[in-house]
Structure 1
Amino acid sequence: MRLSLARYLPVLDWGRRYDRAAFANDLIAAVIVTIMLIPQSLAYALLAGLPPEAGIYASIAPILLYAVFGTSRALAVGPVAVVSLLTASAVGQVAEQGTAGYAVAALTLAGMSGAFLVLLGVFRLGFLANFLSHPVIAGFITASGILIATSQLKHILGIQAHGHTLIEMVGSLVAHLDQINPITLVLGVAATGFLFWVRRGLKPLLRRMGAGPLLADVATKAGPVAAVVATTLAVWGFGLADRGVAIVGSVPQALPPLTLPGVAPDLIRQLAIPAILISIIGFVESISVAQTLAAKKRQRIDPDQELIGLGAANLGAAFTGGYPVTGGFARSVVNFDAGAETPAAGAFTAIGLAIAAVSLTPLVYFLPNATLAATIVVAVLSLVDFSILRRTWDYSRSDFAAVAATIVLTLTLGVEIGVASGVLLSVALHLFKTSKPHVAEVGLVPGSHHFRNINRHDVATDRHVLTLRIDESLYFVNARFLEDLVQDRVTDGCVIRHVVLMCSAVNEIDFSALESLEAINQRLTDMGIGLHLSEVKGPVMDRLRTTHFLDEMNGRVFLSQYDAWQALARPEMDRANAAE
């Protein structure tokens, strides 16, 4: 019973072994991550088009729930840049920013995303995320980083601009350049430059000055806090809010409220597709981070339980004034590097943010939006990776086409169409690559029992025996391809008497492929040619035994290709010496 319960409540597993040393490490990590999250949460709420407190709220209950249901010891859950952008794009289509309906739609989106993730986890459907190829995800994240950075330029310039695509944003920015607020521009550029310097130059400087690794790391992570404090004091001290500098303004001084997502059928229908896309993108980003960090400590991540953990976190956000969340790369790496031992570090972070929500929110009244925008720009530009274009071009032109198309579509048509196109491209790439599987004619390597491609190796062949190694599972997409290939090789007048399909790489044969095999068998029988199978895997053979195909096949099934060679090949063997 305990094992069954621990399967869905990982806290019962790591909680039994929790000790004082783990507590100390988790507490230190929580302090560092909390310092980092306060300005980041405010900034991402701005990106999502929500009040700044929504970012804090989305970082409290979701973290606590993930600590109970999640399996990663280091993953830090909360608002992230890409999901915030997707939220703004989806919710902006059903409600006007700044209205109560906008906030309700964001809650509903979080609730639907959470329910979808939990459902996938309960039915162990985490494998569905594999339909998003890494190149497509990399292309989407790169394009999203560009869109996010561009969308924040209006806050740094102090102008009004709009748009969901890169063309719309740039056009709107150019059209409003005459409205630039010089003071806002100075604050925004100074904050951006300072944050870039902090990220790359502060830690080496402090180490050269004799600071310890921990102090230098904490100071670097606290860089955004320093920018927040400095610019807030400048706005307050010089009365810059009265001179056109946009500020955060009043933020409720309270713990996250109890909220209810919308249940209107029209709203749910409009948000259904965006909720699914956000769930998949968030899960892919989260699980990749969690598995990377877990591998460093030889820990195990359960993808299906991660779905439940992230789903619970999003449901928590929906009922506590937040919006969709997932595991963030930057904060998770900080959490890991700071020494987090268990998910309790996340719980301590949530407590720290709750204290900040109650006691520190009045201090951000004069915080300029330009500083929050600078925080976002510096954070998301690290996501932009154009090297993926060069690497995919060098390795696979089809993957390059998918990456390039995803980037272009996301930038020109918006994030929702971009990510939807990415999913379709991933599936289409898989279907394309498997529609024409690699099939090699093989021969015996002299002095061994091994068979290799006649075009790559010096092998022995028999002109009366054609052996084809199929390097892909057989299913409806490629079944006809195999039919045509065999038909082309056994033309009229050929001396082939036996065709052997070497199935060592075939993991499945679906019904369409079975019908193709039956058609191949019938044609070869009419031509007086035997059809044989070799090295058929157990599960595939079990499935074939439920049909009449093996009884109707005019040849044999051999345990190994060498057995087939010994039974069918003649003493007079040809030599094939084809270069690669």
Structure 2
Amino acid sequence: MGSSEHSEEANWVLHTPRLPGLWREFTEASGEEISPKDTLPAPGSTKHFKKSSTASSAIDEERLDIDLDLEKNSRLVERTQWVLNGPEPPGLWHELMDSLRETISCCRKKYSSLKNQPTLKSAVSVQQEIFPILVWGRSYNMSKFKHDLMAGLTIASLCIPQSIGYATLAKLDPQYGLYTSVVPPLIYAVMGTSREIAIGPVAVVSLLLPSMIQKLQDPEADPIAYTKLVLTATFFTGIFQAAFGLFRLGFLVDFLSHAAIVGFVAGAAIIIGLQQLKGLLGITHFPTNTDVISVIEAVWTSFHHPWSPHNFFLGCSFLCFILMSRFLGKKKKKLFWLPAVAPLLSVILSTLIVYLTRGDKHGINIVKHVKDGLNPSSVNLLQFNSPYVGAVAKVGLIVALVALAEAIAVGRSFSTMKGYHIDGNKEMMAMGFMNVVGSCTSCYVATGSFSRTAVNFSAGCETPVSNVVMAFTVIISLQLLTKLLYYTPTAILASIILSALSGLINLSEVYKIWKVDKLDFLACIGAFFGVLFASMEIGLLVAVIISFTKIILISIGPGTETLGKLPRTDMFCDTAQYPMAVKIPGIMIIRVKSALFCFANANFVRERIVRWITAKKGEDIKEAIQLVILDMSNLINIDTSGIATLEELQKNLISEGIELAVANPRWLVIHKLKLSNFVEKIGGRVFVTVGEAVDARFTEKLPPPANASC
């Protein structure tokens, strides 16, 4: 029997009516219609009293019911006192001090635990906290190294051509992309907590940097000054990222919601793709603006000037080769290495073709000189005395947020598959430190790459040592192979970047966002169109504004719902969601769906309640409302405007001969209601649950015990 009842209640939840749409919620001008559902017997109804064939038995049973109800009423009064006589809630200053005290206490515990340990052991504990490699390195063995070696070589074959391409995308010399694939991965391997993430330059950051910095310095007019600003922005990016981790400010990354990131990345992918038309078509003059209109206009005008079809043919041929290899790699799991090796094979083959045919003499654009050698020091290139230092710091903050959002999203995605947890604060510290050091060693902003991380995961990496293998492979390339890249066509680099963009536009995720949450979809397309038609920073700003607007609408939304009692239970639920919920005649139970009852929504709620009562009164005089119960279980806080509105509502109800009761108020809410004397104005009708408020209404109609005994 119990199992069947549970199944029935589960079906109530699973088969509720469809939610009203967003448009209906915003355009709803009147209160919900109160339908004449099945109702419970009214208070004082004869259905609540058993009738016996004899007068004496009827009197005895009535006295017994009265005694039970009086006992129940005394319990209700006692439970009401629990609500009214609770301790005073902590104030804002008290909460801040508690938070600070808790942080200091945790630090003291760590310090005392280290102090009680031997000096050597405490030093090791501190180092293990900073460098996770000292923890997982204990169990490292040759078997794991074999997997990491294979994975590292695989992602290196993808990293080398991508790094050169992303450096050109960032309007830097090709070697800066290779530099960025050396130092940051080595530092992350020591300080990071993710096993699969592959560190290096990425497409979105490579486009975001020039889109903002070229407004300060033209990379074509003065490439050296431009490079200095990029390295300075990288330094500020690392400082901000390390500060986020040190002060546990990771919640700032959450301001970029999942939907906003999906739209932002999709818009950036299209912009990146259009930017690659410069290399694919061999266009010499290209706009500095990144919006789609400027790029399309430049491409259109280029067809009226001499352009090299050889670049287009060569780039498209190898783009088809890379896409075909990716298709085969997905179809046959044993060929997982083919999509990773294809970009490197494309570079080698295209370079040989251009060298043997002297294609550079026939209009094919080539990379030309790539500076060899290890990362040179760039400390003297950081511009802290520049007049643009404030603007560059702002660029660093924006890039820090975007890079962290991408890296943490990538790291969490693959750590979930492996069943372990990454430490967000340690990740931020690792990212920040590697970018600070990277800015001093000729690297621009590095973060976690989704495409290379996916390859790293598929190749069977076990630890961050795969990043070390990749970095040393790039070091060998910088020492020995840079001269061979002289004849590498720029069209191949463009095709490699274009082949990586398909994974950035996730149409299925966009459709899912549309289906689940329309406001999230609005943030998604806001970021998308902002990036597409304005700039990267405008797209981010639009997404953040829409996300904050959504939070405000949800927090202070004036939604209300009428409650009814579910059959054979003591639960009161929304009658719109649960049509089987039974309304009680003479009692209106209303729950405010907002977390805040404040100046923005208080009057709306009051007007809706008054309108409902007026409509109910006009429909059926016999079932006139005698009591309104406000379920405050959702309310977290209330302001003075909300309290004033409740007082006005109380006056309106009294004028109609209706009483007001409050059920399940939260700690801060009941505290403010007591301070404003509102509890006294409603006669102390405050209850722990809605059910007790209803029961109290029933017992109020009973005669006093003295008369019952007569």
Instruction: Determine the C-alpha separation between the residues in 2 that align with 1:550 and 1:556.
Output: 15
**Which of 420, 427, 435 is residue 306 of structure 1 equivalent to?**
427
1:543 CA displacement: 7.6
Match of 1:228 in 2: 347
1:132 Cα deviation after fit = 2.0
Give the aligned partner of residue 327 of structure 1: 448
Q: 1:515 aligns with which of 640, 658, 678?
A: 640
Return the alpha-carbon distance in structure 2 between the equivalents of residues 180 and 80 of structure 1. 29
- Identify the residue that residue 486 of structure 1 maps to in structure 2: 606
Task: Check whether the contact 2:558–2:604 (CA below 8 A) recurs between aligned residues.
Answer: no
Matched residue, 1:120: 244
Q: What residue number does 1:197 align with?
A: 324
Q: CA deviation at 1:542?
A: 5.9
Task: Give, in angstroms, the shift of residue 40 of structure 1.
Answer: 0.8
Q: What corresponds to 2:584 in structure 1?
A: 462
Q: Please state whether the residue corresponding to 1:179 is helix, strand or coil.
A: coil
Question: How many Å apart are 1:299 and its aligned residue?
Answer: 0.4
Contact 2:411-2:422 at 8 Å conserved across structures: yes
Q: Does 1:156 align with 2:280?
A: yes
Aligned length, in residue pairs: 555
Is the 8 Å Cα contact of residues 590 and 631 (structure 2) preserved in structure 1?
yes
| Letter paired with 1:473 | A
C-alpha deviations, 1:64-85, integer Å up to 9, x for none?
Answer: 2222222211111211111111
Q: 1:546 to 1:523 in 2, by over 3 A?
A: closer
The whole-number CA distance in structure 2 between the counterparts of 1:475 and 1:383 is 41
Q: Which string of whole-angstrom CA distances, capped at 9 and with x for unpartnered residues, describes residues 436-493 of structure 1?
A: 25322112112101111123323233354433233342166xx531443134314687
In structure 2, what residue type is equivalent to 1:523?
Answer: E
Shift of 1:514: 3.0
Q: Which residue of structure 1 lines up, in the alignment, with residue 706 of structure 2?
A: none
- Aligned partners of 1:64 and 1:346 also within 8 Å: yes
Note the alpha carbon deviations across 1:177-205, whole angstroms, 9 max, x for none: 2321122222112121211112113664x
| Aligned residues of 1:277 and 1:420 also touching (Cα < 8 A) | no
Counterpart of 2:210 (choices 85, 88, 95) is 88
Indicate how the Cα distance of structure 1 residues 482 and 49 shifts in structure 2: closer, same or farther if over 3 A, else same: same
1:130 equivalent among 251, 254, 266:
254
Q: In the alignment, which residue of structure 1 is the partner of 2:154?
A: 32
Cα–Cα, structure 1 residues 312 and 532, in superposed 2: closer, same or farther, change >3 Å?
A: farther
2: CA distance, partners of 1:77 / 1:95: 28
- Is 1:246 matched up with 2:365? yes
Question: SS at the partner of 1:327?
Answer: strand
Given that residues 146 and 381 in structure 1 are in contact (C-alpha distance below 8 angstroms), is that contact kept between their aligned partners in structure 2? no
User: In the alignment, which residue of structure 2 is the partner of 1:288?
Assistant: 409
Q: CA deviation at 1:255?
A: 0.9
Aligned residues of 2:192 and 2:426 also touching (Cα < 8 A): yes
Shift of 1:339: 1.5
1:521, distance to aligned residue in structure 2 (A)? 4.0
Q: C-alpha separation between the residues in 2 aligned to 1:179 and 1:310?
A: 45
Greater CA deviation, 277-286 or 372-381? 277-286
Of all paired residues, the percent bearing the same amino acid is 28
How far apart, in 2, do the equivalents of 1:535 and 1:345 lie? 56
Name the SS for the 2:639 alignment partner.
helix
1:223 is paired with a residue whose SS is helix
The answer to whether structure 1 residue 188 and structure 2 residue 315 are counterparts is: yes
1:415 matched to 2:536? The reply is yes
Alpha-carbon distance change, 116 to 202 in structure 1, aligned in 2, over 3 angstroms: closer
How far the C-alpha of 1:571 sits from its partner, in A, is 9.4
Look up the equivalent residue of 1:313 and give its one-letter code: M
Query: For 1:420-499, what aligned pairs fall within 5 Å after superposition?
Result: 420-455=541-576, 456-474=578-596, 479-490=599-610, 496=625, 498-499=627-628
Measured against aligned partners, the alpha-carbon deviations of 1:1-28 in whole angstroms (never above 9, x if no partner) come to 4666544432233223323322222222
- Matched to 1:195, the amino acid is I
User: Larger Cα Rg: Structure 1 or Structure 2?
Assistant: 2
The alpha-carbon deviation at position 45 of structure 1 amounts to: 0.6
Separation in structure 2 between the aligned mates of residue 194 and residue 398 of structure 1, nearest angstrom: 40
Matches within 5 A, 1:11-50: 11-50=133-172
Kindly provide the amino acid, as one letter, of the partner of residue 504 in structure 2.
L
2:183 and 2:693 map into 1 onto residues whose CA distance is 63
Corresponding residue number in structure 1 for 2:295 = 169
In terms of mean alpha carbon deviation, does 15-24 or 296-305 score higher? 15-24
Tell which deviates more after alignment, 455-464 or 58-67. Answer: 455-464
Change (3 A) 1:517 1:450: same
Quote how far apart the aligned CAs of 1:224 are.
0.4
Q: Please tell me whether the aligned partners of residues 205 and 445 of structure 2 are also in contact (alpha carbons under 8 angstroms).
A: yes
Q: 1:165 to 1:475 in 2, by over 3 A?
A: farther
Deviation string 1:323-376 (CA, Å, 9 cap, x unpaired) is 112111111111112122222222222222222222221111111111101100
Superposed displacement of residue 280, structure 1: 1.7
What is the Cα deviation at residue 237 of structure 1?
1.3
- Partner residue in 2 for 1:72: 194
Partner SS state of residue 277, structure 1: helix
Once residues 362 and 108 of structure 1 are traced to their aligned partners in structure 2, the CA distance between those partners, rounded to angstroms, is 29
Q: What letter corresponds to residue 606 of structure 2 in structure 1?
A: V
Query: What letter matches 2:505 in structure 1?
Result: V
Change (3 A) 1:348 1:504: farther
Equivalent residue number for residue 563 of structure 1: 692
Match of 1:179 in 2: 306
Q: Are 2:585 and 2:625, in contact at CA under 8 Å, matched by a contact in 1?
A: yes
User: CA 1:131–1:472 in structure 2 vs 1: closer, same or farther (change >3 Å)?
Assistant: farther
State the AA in 1 paired with 2:630: L
Q: Which moved more, 1:340-349 or 1:461-470?
A: 461-470
C-alpha change, 1:437 and 1:522, in structure 2 (3 Å) is closer
Residue 356 in 1 paired to residue 477 in 2?
yes
Quote the Cα distance in structure 2 between the aligned partners of 1:430 and 1:117.
25
Residue 601 of structure 2 aligns to a residue whose secondary structure is helix
- Which amino acid is 2:378 matched to? T
Q: State which of 268, 281, 292 in structure 1 corresponds to 2:389.
A: 268
Partner AA of 1:375 in structure 2: I
Of 38-47 and 176-185, deviating more is: 176-185
**Paired residue secondary structure (1:222):** helix
1:125–1:543 CA distance, 2 compared to 1 (3 A): farther
Is the contact made by 1:224 and 1:375 (CA closer than 8 Å) also made in structure 2?
A: yes
SS at match of 1:480: coil
1:558 and 1:564 in contact (8 A); partners too: yes
SS at match of 1:461: coil
Q: CA deviation at 1:531?
A: 5.2
Normalised by the size of structure 1, how large is the TM-score? 0.88
Does 260-269 or 361-370 show the bigger shift?
260-269
* Equivalent-residue separation in structure 1 for 2:472 and 2:686 (angstroms): 65
Distance 1:496 1:312, change over 3 A: farther
Give the 3-state SS of the residue equivalent to 2:364 in structure 1.
coil
Change in Cα spacing, 1:410 to 1:461, as seen in structure 2 (3 Å) is same
Partners of 1:482 and 1:76 lie apart in 2 by 51
Q: TM-score, normalised by structure 2?
A: 0.73
**Matched residues in 2 for 1:168 and 1:291: separation?**
37
Q: Which amino acid aligns with 1:559?
A: V
| Structure 1 residue identity aligned to 2:562 | E
Q: Is the alpha carbon distance of 1:300 and 1:449 closer, same or farther for their aligned partners in structure 2, counting shifts above 3 Å? A: same
User: Aligned to 2:420, what secondary structure does the other structure show?
Assistant: coil
Query: CA 1:221 to 1:504, structure 2 compared with 1: closer, same or farther past 3 Å?
Result: same
The 3 A distance-change label for structure 1 pair 520 and 543 is closer
State the Cα distance separating 1:225 from its structure 2 match.
0.7
